[in-house]
């Protein structure tokens, strides 16, 4: 399987440019506005004074109530009239469209009219222009870490702006309802910076959190090496923009991750400051990676030891946050979230937040939408929902559920996100899903894929069953069929973890409805 590459996915879009302030009254039309990121672009542009419209053939989503609240119109279809009649000054587009339909008539009409056609990330960058940008990057943990940092900064009175790729709670958005953006009036602006097909290229952060780096997005990255090159190039590209403002770039790097450690080892000549973070074992031992020795020589180190993994808390002893070790009880389960917390602490320190405020913010964060989110319980079955769609994320999330729900039979229910990713990592997916006590694999969500023949949900379920022939394993079909099948198979005392992109969130919701209805009979 050959990677298409970023250029193919972003066909027809203007290249990333340096951000500029959004002009009051500027007409911006956003294609795919019901998505997580594009909806944030619409909100942020509106707050900046632009006249914003949108369209999305997918119809309303969990992200559109926030657009409705600001009176942003979203048409239910693509149409050249949005350009010809609406007369926007530029189009902001999701790459989910250019990846499968680069010659879409609406985009063609914009190009014919000489309008800039840009990724929606450029609008977010423009909305953040002039603020202290913090970019949260990495293969895993971006949304949780971004939301957590927003929470810490807001609790400390810093009033940050933000784009986060998951729903922030209503208490953080200023809208009275959940959304993926926050206006804020403070100096800091937090942005989730995704590596897919150059999505993070418009962002030039003063502070970067790098959570992890491994192979993902096989449709654009040929291998792990290509992923590391992309992260390194982006970190290097940001430095001149930041230094030109008279500031020193800061990289907050989770050096316990092999990929991040390797990238840091390549940055000995980078003009910024490295703040290294790591979780150490119970004895306090976790030697730096061999290729890190030169970079870590000049690095500030922030590390933590996990002293307890309780059902509702992960207790950390953090060194480097203050003059003495600080004990923090996190409300988030899992070692991976402990690592995310350290990244948040490092960025907050770089922004000048007091250690006591950082500790308080870390310990009071309840999470963001679809990240180990407890959806409810019916007939003794507890249901969790998570966006995990990579073998590593699935492994860590399963471990977190076992921490939260000790003694329960744990179901791994997965809607694979894209055919390319599933085919390229099928053996890894099968191995990690097989560590659950029971497994259901829903139909694959194609997303940006154009080739739907490379694998199937049935093939993944078969690979799991081959590894664990004695546990329940099935590929029931659609998300609706999967929920119905689960309602017949789960038992009182089970914990069901639903994972994936696309429509997977509906599995947990429908399962709870089915179980509640059964209980009422």
pLDDT tens track for 62-90: 999 999 999 999 999 999 999 999 899 99
Q: Is the pLDDT of residue 297 over 60?
A: no
Q: CA–CA separation, 190 vs 460, rounded Å? A: 37
pLDDT, residue 9, reads 86
Which 3 state secondary structure label does DSSP give 331? coil
- Of 261, 263, 258, 200, give the one whose Cα is nearest residue 229: 263
Percent share of the chain, pLDDT over 70 = 96
- What are residue 381's DSSP bridge partners? 378
Q: CA–CA separation, 394 vs 419, rounded Å? A: 17
- The mean pLDDT of 186-203, rounded to a whole number, is 97
pLDDT tens track for 2-37: 788 888 888 899 999 999 999 999 999 999 999 999
Q: Is the pLDDT of residue 469 over 60?
A: yes
Structural tokens at position 352:
């000048």
pLDDT, residue 289, reads 56
Q: Specify whether the CB–CB gap between 133 and 204 falls below 8 A.
A: yes
- Of 367, 370, 3, give the one whose Cα is nearest residue 196: 3
pLDDT tens track for 356-414: 999 999 999 999 999 999 999 999 999 999 999 999 999 999 999 999 999 999 999 99
Residue where the block lists tokens 């069901």? 496
Q: Which residues contact 92 (CB under 8 A, 6 or more apart)?
A: 28, 29, 30, 31, 38, 41, 45, 118, 119, 120, 122, 123
Mean pLDDT value across the chain? 94
Specify the DSSP element, H or E, that contains 307. strand 300-309
pLDDT tens track for 411-447: 999 999 999 999 999 999 999 999 999 999 999 999 8
Domains of the chain: 6-123 (3.40.50.720), 130-363 (3.40.1190.10), 373-520 (3.90.190.20)
Sheet holding 188-192, edge to edge: 179-182, 161-168, 188-192, 132-137, 207-210, 250-254, 273-280, 300-309, 314-319, 326-330
Q: Specify whether the CB–CB gap between 40 and 180 falls below 8 A.
A: yes
pLDDT, residue 284, reads 52
Which 3 state secondary structure label does DSSP give 231? helix
Q: Specify whether the CB–CB gap between 386 and 368 falls below 8 A.
A: no
């Amino acid at each position: 399987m050959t990677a298409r590459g970023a250029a193919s996915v972003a066909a027809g879009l203007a290249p990333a440019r340096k951000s500029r302030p959004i002009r009051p009254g500027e007409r911006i039309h956003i294609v795919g506005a019901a998505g997580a990121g594009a909806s944030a672009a619409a909100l942020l542009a509106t707050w900046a004074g632009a006249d914003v419209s949108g369209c999305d053939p997918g119809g309303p989503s969990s992200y559109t109530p926030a657009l409705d609240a600001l009176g942003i119109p979203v048409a239910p279809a693509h149409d050249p009239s949005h350009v010809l009649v609406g007369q926007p000054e530029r189009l902001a587009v999701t790459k989910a469209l250019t990846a499968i339909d680069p010659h879409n008539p609406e985009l063609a009409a914009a190009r014919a009219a000489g309008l800039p056609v840009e990724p929606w990330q450029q609008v977010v960058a423009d909305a953040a222009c002039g603020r202290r940008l913090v970019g949260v990057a990495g293969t895993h943990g971006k949304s949780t870490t971004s939301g957590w940092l927003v929470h810490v900064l807001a609790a400390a009175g810093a009033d940050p702006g933000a784009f986060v790729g998951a729903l922030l709670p209503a208490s953080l958005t200023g809208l009275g309802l959940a959304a993926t953006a926050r206006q804020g009036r403070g100096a800091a602006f937090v942005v989730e910076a995704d590596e897919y097909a150059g999505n993070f290229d418009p962002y030039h952060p003063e502070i970067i959190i790098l959570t992890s780096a491994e192979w993902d997005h096989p449709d654009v990255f040929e291998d792990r090496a290509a992923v590391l090159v992309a992260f390194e190039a982006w970190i290097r590209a940001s430095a001149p923009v930041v230094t030109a403002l008279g500031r020193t770039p800061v990289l907050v790097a989770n050096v316990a991750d092999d990929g991040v450690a390797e990238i840091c080892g390549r940055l000995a000549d980078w003009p910024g400051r490295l703040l290294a973070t790591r979780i150490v074992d119970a004895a306090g031992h976790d030697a730096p990676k061999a290729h890190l020795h030169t970079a870590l020589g000049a690095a500030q180190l922030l590390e933590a030891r996990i002293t307890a993994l309780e059902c509702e808390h992960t207790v950390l002893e953090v060194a480097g946050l203050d003059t003495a070790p600080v004990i923090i009880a996190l409300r988030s389960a899992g070692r991976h979230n402990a690592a995310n917390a350290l990244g948040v602490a490092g960025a907050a320190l770089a922004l000048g937040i007091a250690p006591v405020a950082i500790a308080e913010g870390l310990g009071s964060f309840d999470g963001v939408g679809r990240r180990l989110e407890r959806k409810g319980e019916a007939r003794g079955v507890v249901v969790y929902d998570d966006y995990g769609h990579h073998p590593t994320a699935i492994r860590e999330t399963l471990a977190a559920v076992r921490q939260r729900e000790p003694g329960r039979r744990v179901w791994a229910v997965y809607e694979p996100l894209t055919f390319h990713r599933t085919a390229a990592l099928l053996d890894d997916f099968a191995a990690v899903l097989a560590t659950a006590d029971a497994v259901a694999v829903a139909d694959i969500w194609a997303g940006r894929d154009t080739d739907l023949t490379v694998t199937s949900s049935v093939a993944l379920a078969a690979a799991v069953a081959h590894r664990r022939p004695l546990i329940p394993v099935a590929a029931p079909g659609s998300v609706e069929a999967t929920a119905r099948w689960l309602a017949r198979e789960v038992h009182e005392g089970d914990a069901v973890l639903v994972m994936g992109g696309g429509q997977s969130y509906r599995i947990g919701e429908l399962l709870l409805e089915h179980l509640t209805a059964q209980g009422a009979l």
